[in-house]
Amino acid sequence: MSGLGYADALAELEAILDDLDDDNIDIDVLAGKVERASLLIRLCRDRIASARTQVDRIVADLEQLGTAADPPTLL
């Protein structure tokens, strides 16, 4: 599942949730769908955490560059 992107995982999760909302869901597939949903939720959370870490690192690098450089003069 590591090759699955965030958007695809989210779309699959939404489809599973739609299936679970159906009163006629086959009880034999219910546990499998719930397990798959759990894996997809973990994957999405991991992708969000990874993106947050990358953004924080980029912002910190930009802030460091901003303080290291001389401010531009207007004259």
The pLDDT tens digits for 3-50 are 899 999 999 999 999 999 988 888 889 999 999 999 999 999 999 999
Asked if 36 and 16 touch (Cβ cutoff 8 Å), the reply is: yes
Under 8 Å between Cβ of 46 and 4: no
Tell me if 1 is assigned to some domain: no
Is 15 domain-assigned?
yes
Give alpha helix (H) positions in 1-26. Answer: 6-21
Q: Establish if 75 belongs to a structural domain.
A: no
Q: Give a yes or no: residue 21 inside a domain.
A: yes
Predicted model pTM:
0.75
Residue type at position 3? G
Contact 43, 1 (CB under 8 A): yes
User: Cβ distance 20 to 36 under 8 Å?
Assistant: no
Number of domains into which the chain is organized: 1
Residue 44 domain flag: yes
Residue 73 has pLDDT above 80, yes or no: no
